[in-house]
Each structure stands twice: as structure tokens, then as C-alpha cells.
Structure 1
Amino acid sequence: MTTYIPSLTIPSGILLNPATSILLPVALGTAVGFSSRPRENQKNYMALKQPPCRPPPEIFGPLWTLFYGLMGYGAFRACNAGLSPLRSPNVIQATKHGATLYTIQLGLNLLWMPLFFVAKRPIEATVDILALTGTVGYMTYLWGKVDAVAGWCMVPYLGWLCYASYLSTAVGYLNNWDLSDKTVDSPPSSKPGHTKFVDEKP
């Protein structure tokens, strides 16, 4: 059972406002993406040995924007419903616990890209995303009991994290947990717009 830790929790005033609650993760995620040099990331990503069922790089940006928006809206729904003085003390406490978990998971989320692409530390990045997935799973359970819509808002995000955990683990394993000095200037295909990867696994 987690605990409510005010010093590690986004202020409730932010989460109780729908606009700030949605825009906060979107803005932070966008900032981390740009600061991690996405073009260089794509060159690095295309040079890595890939597992089956990997997605094309261009879908990551739109999908993460969607997931960040959904998590922000889910946080607003949960806090708006669960922090009402009309709710029972147990519900209010569960909502606060979920808010602490939400803050922790957002930090773990924002840490993954710098770990994987900038620091090129696939082991640490995989540990991070596994911890992130577990945290989001428990948070979804807590907030789902407070507000069903809030719980469902987290479900697509949680499903993607399970898939992303597979990708992170598999890419690390296939590349011997070493991502250093692996880049290509363009997709290794003569077809325009093709996104074939180096040493792509069938």
C-alpha cells in the first residue's frame, strides 16, 4: 500500500483544473522529447536490431500526446471526484494515494527517453519502464474505484506501457544491452518513405 506524500505529489490545485491537469503532462512530455533530440534518436533507433511487431518511429509522437492528454484528464476526473468533502475518508485517502502515484509515474515516464536514447543505458531504462508499468497499474486500480472514467482513461496508457516494456527489453537484449555508437543517416531502403530498420528481425 502506498502512502500520500505531499512533498512528492503535484499540488491538488493543478490536478483539479482540467486545463492545467491535461496540459502539464503534455508540455513536460513534449519538452523532454525535444530536449532529447528526436532526429538523432530516430537515427539511433533505426540502427538497432528490432524485435517482431515493432512500430514505425513516426507514430510515437502522436500516441504519446494522446496518452499524456488522457492521463491528465484521468487525473482531473479522479481528483475532482475523490477529493470532494462529501466522499468518505477512505475514498479521499485513496485519491490522495493515487495522486502521489501519479506524480511518481510521471517522473518515471519522463526519465525513460533520456535513459534510453541520451545516456544509452538500456538496462536502467528497462528497469524504469517496468517500475512505471507497475506503478500505473496500481494507480489505475485505485483511481478506478474512485471514478470509473478516470480508471478507463489510464487503460490505453497502461496497455501501451506493457507493449513498450516488451520493446525496451527486447531491443536491449537483441543489442547485447549496448546502444553506443549505433546510428544510420536514413532508413536502409531505397523506397521513399520506407522505414525498414537495420537488422530487422522477421
Structure 2
Amino acid sequence: MTTYIPNLTLPSGVFNNLPVSILLPIALGTAVGYSTRPKDTKRQYLSWKQPPFRPPPWVFGPAWTLLYGLMGYASYRAVHLGTSPLNSPATIAAAKHGATLYSIQLGLNLAWMPLFFGFNRPVEATIDVLALLGINGYLAYLWGGSVDSTAGCLLVPYVAWLGFASYLSAGTGYLNNWDLSTPKDDATKRA
């Protein structure tokens, strides 16, 4: 089990404020999405060889907005309810451990899009999403079993999506020989 690491954990004020808990991941995810130039990202996405069952580009915005909101609400429930002085020391410790894990996974989550689309690094992006899958699977287990079952359940769609995202990330990397650099003919069209 990881430990509570204050320097790697979002401030408790984030977790104890419901609107902030929900809106922070949505706002950060939206900012990262727009920083990678959505029109360029969509063009890149459609130009690469893709594994079967890839969704159309328009699915990602609504899906991630919902998932960020669910993960934010899960974090609020787990940390706000779990750190209540009325709880056992074990429950409080699990809630705090989860807060550190949640903070780390949020950073990893925000790194995936720049890695994959900005830097064209599919190997690193796939490692990132696999780490996210493992951390969030454990986080759902930790929070769901030791702190608040609803918080654990709220993370299940996110964990499922991360499993699918791992498949898409690895599949796209593999089908494109782990090279997502812009083809020369695309580079000359933009010049």
C-alpha cells in the first residue's frame, strides 16, 4: 500500500469541496485537450492505422467529461467522508492513501494526451495508460473496500475506459510501427 504523501497530494480543500472536486479534473482535462490543438489531434487520429472498435473522435470529449466528473465525485466522497474524525484510524489512513494515489493518477492522466498526440510517443503513452489502469484499479479497490463503496463503484467506468484506452493506445502504436510522427506529405501541406 502506498502512503499518504502530502507533497504529492492535492490540497484537502479540493477534496472537501464538492464543486471543486468535480470541476477541477474536468477543467484540467479540457485545458490539456485544447492545448494539443483539437483540429490537429482529430486529423492525426484519423490518419493513423487503428485497431478494430475505435470510436469516432467526437466520442472522446463527452466520455472524458463524464469520467472526469465521476472521478472527481468519487474523490470527494472517499476523502471527505473517509477522513471524518468519526471513522476508524484505518479508514482515515485508507482515504488519505487514496488521496495521494488519486493525485498521482490525475497527473498521469493529464500527461497521456501530450505524450500521444503532442510528442508522438506511443510507447511512453501506452506505459502511462497501463500505469493509470493499475493505479485506478487499486484505487477503486481501496476506496470501495475500505472507505466508501459508492466511491469505489464510481471509479469502475473509469477503470473500464482505461482498459479500452490501453487497447487503443497499444493497438495504434503497434499498427503504426510505434512511430506516430507526422508523415512528410502532411508536414508540407501545413507549411
Question: Under TM normalisation by the shorter chain, which class is it?
Answer: over 0.9
Aligned to 2:110: 110
CA contact (8 A) 1:48 1:182 kept: no
Unaligned runs of 5+ in 1: 186-202
- How do 1:153-168 and structure 2 match up within 5 A? 153-168=154-169
CA distance in 1 between partners of 2:184 and 2:17 (Å): 42
Tell me which residue corresponds to 2:143.
143
In the TM superposition, residue 158 of structure 1 has moved relative to its aligned partner by: 0.5
Correspondence list, 1:60-99, <5 A: 60-99=60-99
Q: Deviations over 1:130-177 (max 9, x none)?
A: 011101111111111211111111000000000000000000000000
Q: How far apart, in 2, do the equivalents of 1:42 and 1:51 lie? A: 16
Instruction: Spell out, residue by residue over 1:99-136, the C-alpha distance to the aligned partner (whole angstroms, 9 max, x if none).
Output: 00000000000000000000000000000000111011
Q: Distance in 2 between matches of 1:140 and 1:183?
A: 44
Report the equivalent of 1:181.
182
How far apart in 2 are the matches of 1:169 and 1:180?
Answer: 16
Partner of 2:128: 128
Question: How many angstroms does 1:182 deviate by?
Answer: 4.1
Supply the distance in 1 between the matched residues of 2:50 and 2:36 (Cα, whole angstroms): 21
Alignment-derived partner of residue 45 in structure 2: 45
Structure 2 unaligned spans of 5+: 187-191
Measured after TM superposition, the shift of residue 28 of structure 1 is 0.2
Between the aligned partners of 2:83 and 2:157, the Cα distance in structure 1 is 24
Q: Match for 1:107: what amino acid?
A: G
CA distance in 2, matches of 1:39, 1:19: 30
CA contact (8 A) 1:115 1:124 kept: yes
Q: Summarize the Cα distance change of 1:125–1:153 in structure 2 as closer, same or farther, 3 Å threshold.
A: same
Deviations 1:71-96 (A, max 9, x none): 00000010122100010001100000
Aligned residues: 185
TM-score computed with the length of structure 2 as normaliser: 0.94
Structure 1's 106 and 184: CA in aligned 2 closer, same or farther, altered over 3 A? farther
When normalised by structure 1's length, the TM-score is 0.89
d(CA) in 2 for partners of 1:83 and 1:38? 39
Q: 1:169 to 1:100 in 2, by over 3 A?
A: same
Give the CA RMSD over aligned residues.
1.3
The structure richer in helix per residue is: 2
